[in-house]
A and B are shown apart, each in its own frame.
Chain A
Amino acid sequence: MKLKESLANFFAVICLTVVAAMAHASEAVFEPELPTVASSYFNKHNFSNYRPYLLAQNEVPTAKSQDEISVTSFEKFNPPLFTGSNAHKFLGVGTLALVIATAVAPKPPEVEDRAPTQAELDAQKSSSHAKLGRAAATLAVATVATGLLYHWDDFHLEDGLFDPDNQHALLGAAGALAMLYAISKAPDEGHAGMGIAGGAAMAVAIKLTW
């Protein structure tokens, strides 16, 4: 049973790594001349000295040497279906669905008046409730990971705690941690509250930036 569980976890990690790597591979090439710290782009720094930034000054006339630029014909642009942002969105919604499924899934009877037998412990671990809970926590972690990868430039502490993206990131991360804590404590008493709190934090995080 333990080996099977470990294999399942290992397989899940491999899948998530592959998904993350696939999406990461399509990211733009790193621009070495640009600062990578978000705060470098704030008003207090003279970041307008960076040449690429100057393009924002739209009053400057159009560059003259355009002859070498080939103009391609416009075609109807269809946004790609498989993107990091979409993966993040669907993972988040999937997490919520699994949290709800976990809450309503049948749970094995609790043993209160004596220590549970090994068979009862195994039944608890292999119940639908337990499996769905673990799946929800796994998806929550994947959601946070994809959020960090694809929306890292939306998160700026300098924007303050009332910034919806900052709140989204913090609540989402807190929700995932709460779910992980819940499954680590299961099937002990008290894990349900933390699991529900984690799901609620995720739900609020999604709503704030939906």
Chain B
Amino acid sequence: MKNNSIVLVSLTAALLVNSTHAGAEESFIGWLLDFSRTKEVKPVTDKHYQEECGECHFAYQPGLLPARSWDRLLKAEAMRDHFGDNAEMDIDTLKEIHDYAVENAADKSYYKRSRKIAAATADGPTPLRITELHYIQRKHHELPEKMIKGNRSVKSLSYCDKCHTQADDGVYDNDTVSIPNYPDWDD
């Protein structure tokens, strides 16, 4: 009986420890009884974010970077030199996009992949590129160069949606990967 109590307490503790992030989005009970899948990254739900970011590149989910990264990236002065391009926009739209990204950043999301990114970026300098994240690099380490940079249908790891066929939905698992020109690739 004593052993069972220890097991029960341990399991409850495991749930509670993991529910701290859930608290940012919903109540503990709500999270516990929610059966919708949260193993990936929360899809983009803000129309302006999708439209403004998606106009030039894949609209990366906010859950792919911590809040401090979005805070630095989506400042008016930073947008004048957004990875070499001028991406200025009106101040109200930028504020909305900034706030949405910060509120849904990796360190504020319960989605599993976001939590892993948050843990991997908790210390050290503020990452500004998703492709620089240690977690992302580790996930792609076994891909040979020819499949990405040497593949004219992909060109760079930055183009997530070229291979992750459900990237728009925030799904980045192995089962949904299809590398252009390498249809037989299997992880």
Task: Report if A79-B165 is in contact (Cβ < 8 Å); known contacts: A69-B181, A210-B39.
Answer: yes
Which residues of chain A have C-beta atoms less than 8 A from B148's C-beta?
Answer: 55
Pairwise interchain contact A63-B150, C-beta atoms closer than 8 A: yes
A13 at interface (Cβ–Cβ under 8 A)?
A: no
A114 at interface (Cβ–Cβ under 8 A)?
A: no
The complex places the Cα of A71 from the Cα of B146 at a distance, in Å, of: 13
Pairwise interchain contact B14-A58, C-beta atoms closer than 8 A: no
Pairwise interchain contact B178-A204, C-beta atoms closer than 8 A: no
How far does the Cβ of B121 sit from chain A's closest Cβ, in whole Å? Answer: 12
Query: Closest chain A residue to B34 by CB distance?
Result: A210
Which residues of chain B have C-beta atoms less than 8 A from A95's C-beta?
Answer: none
A101 at interface (Cβ–Cβ under 8 A)?
A: no
Pairwise interchain contact B180-A41, C-beta atoms closer than 8 A: no
The complex places the Cα of A80 from the Cα of B175 at a distance, in Å, of: 7
A8 at interface (Cβ–Cβ under 8 A)?
A: no
Task: Report if A210-B14 is in contact (Cβ < 8 Å); known contacts: A43-B134, A58-B131, A164-B112.
Answer: no
Which residues of chain A have C-beta atoms less than 8 A from B180's C-beta?
Answer: 71-72, 74
Pairwise interchain contact B14-A204, C-beta atoms closer than 8 A: yes
Pairwise interchain contact A55-B140, C-beta atoms closer than 8 A: yes
B158 at interface (Cβ–Cβ under 8 A)?
A: yes
The complex places the Cα of A198 from the Cα of B158 at a distance, in Å, of: 42
How far does the Cβ of A15 sit from chain B's closest Cβ, in whole Å? Answer: 23
Pairwise interchain contact A204-B115, C-beta atoms closer than 8 A: no
The count of residues in chain B whose C-beta lies closer than 8 Å to any C-beta of chain A is 59
Which residues of chain B have C-beta atoms less than 8 A from A160's C-beta?
Answer: 119
Task: Report if A28-B185 is in contact (Cβ < 8 Å); known contacts: A50-B141, A200-B7.
Answer: yes
Pairwise interchain contact A62-B149, C-beta atoms closer than 8 A: yes
How far does the Cβ of B142 sit from chain A's closest Cβ, in whole Å? Answer: 6
B91 at interface (Cβ–Cβ under 8 A)?
A: no
How far does the Cβ of B56 sit from chain A's closest Cβ, in whole Å? Answer: 16
A162 at interface (Cβ–Cβ under 8 A)?
A: yes
The count of residues in chain A whose C-beta lies closer than 8 Å to any C-beta of chain B is 55
The complex places the Cα of A43 from the Cα of B141 at a distance, in Å, of: 13
The complex places the Cα of A26 from the Cα of B35 at a distance, in Å, of: 30
Which residues of chain A have C-beta atoms less than 8 A from B183's C-beta?
Answer: 72
Pairwise interchain contact B158-A193, C-beta atoms closer than 8 A: no
A54 at interface (Cβ–Cβ under 8 A)?
A: yes
Give B140-168 as 1s and 0s: 1 = Cβ < 8 Å from A's Cβ atoms.
11111111111111011110000001100
The complex places the Cα of A119 from the Cα of B119 at a distance, in Å, of: 57
How far does the Cβ of B143 sit from chain A's closest Cβ, in whole Å? Answer: 6
Give the contacts of A33-67 with B (CB-CB under 8 A).
34, 41-43, 47, 50-58, 60, 62-63, 65-66
Which residues of chain B have C-beta atoms less than 8 A from A193's C-beta?
Answer: 1, 3-4
- A58's partner among B3, B144, B157 (CB-CB below 8 A) is B157
Task: Report if A55-B145 is in contact (Cβ < 8 Å); known contacts: A71-B152, A85-B173, A208-B14.
Answer: yes
Query: What 11 new A-B contacts, CB under 8 Å, besides A162-B17, A207-B15, A208-B15?
Result: A28-B185, A31-B142, A52-B144, A53-B137, A66-B152, A159-B116, A171-B14, A197-B8, A200-B8, A204-B11, A210-B37
A-B contact pairs, 10 of them (CB 8 A): A50-B141, A52-B142, A58-B129, A62-B155, A66-B151, A79-B175, A85-B173, A197-B3, A201-B11, A209-B112
Q: Nearest 6 CB-CB pairs, A to B? A: A63-B150, A58-B156, A197-B7, A77-B178, A193-B4, A77-B165
